[in-house]
């Protein structure tokens, strides 16, 4: 019956079913990124970059809300989209950053600009008809 069940003494690690010599080494927290888990020079730079990106995003969002003209607001939203993409890149989410660049920085402002243009043209035509 010993051939049916193998235990830790038979070349397998307890509980995971893999051979003991094939186990992966334990991973360190923060391994694989600049700065790792240490709070040295790179860790401080990461924190500074995140703080700067957050401040820029907050400033860009405030300007977007404060802008009254819809055409200018769509351009400010495009800049805000780029700032958000930078923030996502700093936070090591490049897939989200690329999506943000495509949708938030290009597609949405373009649709807003086309909508504003169409509404303004329709308003001018109605003004000319009267």
Is residue 49 assigned to a domain? yes
Domain count for the chain: 1
How many CB atoms sit inside 10 A of residue 46's CB?
18
Question: What digits encode the pLDDT tens for the residues 18-37?
Answer: 566 666 655 545 555 555 55
> Is 97 inside a domain boundary?
yes
List the domain range (segments joined by +) for residue 89.
38-129
* 6 assigned to some structural domain: no
Within-domain flag for 90: yes
DSSP label at residue 19? B
pTM above 0.85, yes or no: no
Closest CA to 88 of 48, 60, 57, 44: 57
Quick: pLDDT tens for 57-115: 999 999 999 999 998 999 999 999 999 999 999 999 999 999 999 999 999 999 999 99
Does any domain span residue 33? no
**Does the residue 22 lie in any domain?**
no
Query: Does some domain include residue 48?
Result: yes
| 13 is a domain residue | no
């Amino acid at each position: 019956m010993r051939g049916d069940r193998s235990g830790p003494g038979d070349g397998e690690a307890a509980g995971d079913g893999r051979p003991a010599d094939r186990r992966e080494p334990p991973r360190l927290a923060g391994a694989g990124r600049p700065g790792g888990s240490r709070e040295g020079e790179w860790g401080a730079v990461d924190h500074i970059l995140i703080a700067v990106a957050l401040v820029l995003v907050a400033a860009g969002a405030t300007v977007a809300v404060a802008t009254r003209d819809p055409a200018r607001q769509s351009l400010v939203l495009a800049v805000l989209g780029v700032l958000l993409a930078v923030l996502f890149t700093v936070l090591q989410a490049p897939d989200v950053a690329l999506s943000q660049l495509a949708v938030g920085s290009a597609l949405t402002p373009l649709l807003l600009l086309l909508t504003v243009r169409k509404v303004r043209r329709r308003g001018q035509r109605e003004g000319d008809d009267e």
